[in-house]
Structure 1
Amino acid sequence: MLDTPALDIEGLTVRYGSAVAVDGIDLHIPRGQTVALLGPNGAGKSSTVNAALGLFRPAAGRVEVLGREPGAAIRDGGVGAMLQHGGLPSETRVGEVLRLVGRRYAAPWPLADLAATTGIDGLLDRRVDALSGGQRQRVLLAVALAGAPPLLLLDEPTSAMDVEGRQAFWATMRGLADRGHTVVFATHHLDEADAVADRVVVVAGGRIVADGSAAEIKRRIDGRTVRFTCPGPRDELVALPGVTGVTALGDLVELATADVEATLRGLLATRDLLPDLEVRGATLEQAFLRLLDTRPETGALR
């Protein structure tokens, strides 16, 4: 049913020996959302994705994928996965791999459209072992999409891609979201999460410490930044009203301020020119780092 969530996790706990990787996570993802999982190494992102794929039995909690247990949803072709260390059979060609995978599904994605959608239509005759890192990632995406799954789970999908490849990849993801696919991805690239995700879930210490749109999470951080080109003296900047910090990269200066209007009035009172002036709110990276710095020792921040 369309009102059945794509992913419904309640009280998920994952342990590796005595170490707790995921500590009682609740996560409800409706169909059609694009959701980014953010967190430092060891936060529990990959373990959560692996539990959703039924790759192990969790220590506690419930995981439902498209209203079923993970294994059943995967067997029915409801889930496509792209993991950090996905492999492809050597000594084969890309088209051969995709045709073989497509035979596993009752209604596979037509190969020509699948190749065009994932940007590999020029690679179907290429040997797998001749692919670049970025090309391999796009072929792995095509493998994940071969069954036209309603839910796509991605773990660090752009780790081997250059900037151009990442941009093309996320253009593909936006197209899939427009077609109604649910996309859940774990990433260290906060700019990707900010630009692409409808919703951002921040995980630290095995717990969810923030959950909302990127804009909502950024609004949790007080203050703004004022940036401008300042080739001359700058010692007096730290004493301006509202300024809480000063950073510089070459001639570019960035002032963190708790009162942007007071800071701007102070600048205008002391300087005739403010080249390249910009006033910005908190970035997702700043909000992310603040969340990690301020969370309680238990890892929970509700």
Structure 2
Amino acid sequence: MNEAFPPVARLAGAVKHYDRLAALDGVDIMLHRGELLALLGPNGAGKSTSISLLLGLVRPDAGCAELFGMDPQRIEARRRIGVMLQSANLPPTLRVGEMLRLTASYYPDPRPLAESAELAGIGDLLKRPYGKLSGGQQRRVQFALALCGRPELLFLDEPTVGMDIDARQKLWAAMRALIAEGCSVVLTTHYLEEAEALAQRVVVLGHGRVLSEGSVDELRAKVALTRIRCVSDLDAEAVAHWPQVASASSIDGRLQVATAAAEHVVRRLLDTDPALRELEVQRAGLAEAFTELTRAPTLQEAA
């Protein structure tokens, strides 16, 4: 990521209403070259509307949306992007290879078909009709169509829905390869481990506003709780009443404790149960940070 160059995509004070519903309420988002930005938020947070504004599919009621410093509806900007939305209505009778060749022909400097197929992991599907593919295979084809034009900016909206673990890992590897080439990526996903594994920066949206922004580590740091797991005969209900313990439970024979004072609690656990074993101490992950940032009180404070 190089912030010395102008942003490749930007929302500035973006406002969008649908009737009386404020889908976006003054949102600022900026994306730099070679950066993967994850847009996170619960349903209705404004993620899809943000992408629609950046793609020029809808216009903001106030503020502005830019691609490469231009109006997103200009053809000069659109030729430099690739898009994979949550759903796609593609001709079911076209063979995958035919679909790739057709889509690539719309771009001035497309990737060779074999390269696009290899990146998306669809080399064995090129001769098959699109309509005969499984849901996960169709998603991989859609990914290939998004990257075949050699885009400088790639929009991926829930790209791994319907994929098995192996296909998802291969898609992650392809995203990393594209980032290494200097491509920028806007990713929306409900799989928080996906954002945690890939994103250089995360924007958390809620009720049409930016609730938090930063690296994964910076978002984790906003959650003070640490998770402690161990095998112990201690009663979870009793531990839950210890000072500085937020919660305690016993799951499958393992004691699980949440606390903002991990060192103090660990010492007491060891003192109280000398036979304690398999101790694990882990700071909050992105999933816990996301839950904390999007809980109702936070949204009320943002109002």
Q: CA deviation at 1:232?
A: 6.4
Count residues in correspondence.
300
Q: In the alignment, which residue of structure 1 is the partner of 2:291?
A: 289
Residue by residue, what CA displacement relative to the aligned partner does 1:83-113 show, whole Å, maximum 9, x if unpaired? 1112221111000000111111121111011
Alpha-carbon contact 2:206-2:299 (below 8 Å) kept:
no
Write out per-residue CA displacement over residues 24-44 of structure 1, whole angstroms, 9 at most, x where no aligned residue: 101111111101000000000
Alignment match, 1:85: 87
Is residue 252 of structure 1 aligned with residue 254 of structure 2? Answer: yes
Matches within 5 A, 1:144-155: 144-155=146-157
**Contact 1:9/1:25 (8 A) holds in 2:** yes
Cα distance change on mapping 1:111 and 1:214 into 2, 3 Å: same
Q: What's the offset of the Cα at 1:245? A: 0.5
- Which secondary structure does the structure 2 equivalent of 1:192 belong to? helix
Aligned to 1:179: 181
Stretches of 4+ moved more than 6 A in 1? none
Q: Distance in 1 between matches of 2:108 and 2:289?
A: 45
- Partners of 2:187 and 2:124 in 1: how far apart? 26
**Contact 1:53 1:74 (C-alpha < 8 Å) held by counterparts:** no
For residues 100-148 of structure 1, the C-alpha deviation after alignment (integer angstroms, 9 at most, x for no partner) is 1111112111101111111111110111011111111110011111210
Match in the other structure for 2:59: 57
User: How does 1:1-302 map onto structure 2 within 5 Å?
Assistant: 3-72=5-74, 76-230=78-232, 233-293=235-295, 294-297=297-300, 299=302
CA contact (8 A) 1:241 1:259 kept: no
Name the SS for the 1:10 alignment partner.
strand
- Which 10-residue stretch deviates more, 18-27 or 202-211? 18-27
2:85 and 2:9 map into 1 onto residues whose CA distance is: 17
Query: Cα 1:113–1:238, aligned 2, differ >3 Å: closer, same or farther?
Result: same
Give 2:34's aligned amino acid.
G
Distance 1:284 1:247 in 2: 21
Distance in 1 separating the partners of 2:59 and 2:154: 20
Equivalent position amino acid for 2:300 in 1? E
Report the CA distance between 1:275 and its aligned residue.
Answer: 2.5
Q: Is the 8 A contact 1:81 1:152 kept in 2?
A: yes
1:237 to partner: Cα distance? 1.7
Tell me which amino acid in the other structure corresponds to 1:48: S
Question: Distance between the aligned counterparts of 2:228 and 2:77, measured in 1?
Answer: 53
Structure 2 CA distance for partners of 1:76 and 1:9, relative to 1, 3 Å: closer
What letter is aligned with 1:288? Answer: F
| 1:241, distance to aligned residue in structure 2 (A) | 4.2
Q: Taking structure 1 as reference, are residues 236 and 298 closer, same or farther at Cα in structure 2, changes over 3 Å only?
A: closer
CA distance in 2 between counterparts of 1:276 and 1:285 reads 23
RMSD of the alignment, in Å?
Answer: 1.8
Distance 2:103 2:75 in 1: 17
TM-score of the two chains, using structure 2 as the length reference = 0.94
Retained in 1: the 8 A contact 2:226–2:281? Answer: yes
Distance 1:76 1:296 in 2: 34
Report the Cα distance in structure 2 between the residues aligned to 1:22 and 1:262, rounded to whole angstroms.
Answer: 43
* 1:231, distance to aligned residue in structure 2 (A): 5.8
Q: CA deviation at 1:234?
A: 3.6
Query: Cα 1:193–1:46, aligned 2, differ >3 Å: closer, same or farther?
Result: same
With normalisation by structure 1, the TM-score equals 0.94
More divergent stretch after superposition (58-67 vs 41-50): 58-67
Assess if the C-alpha contact under 8 Å between 2:233 and 2:273 holds in 1.
no
CA distance in 1, matches of 2:77, 2:213: 30
Gaps spanning 5+ residues in structure 1: where?
A: none
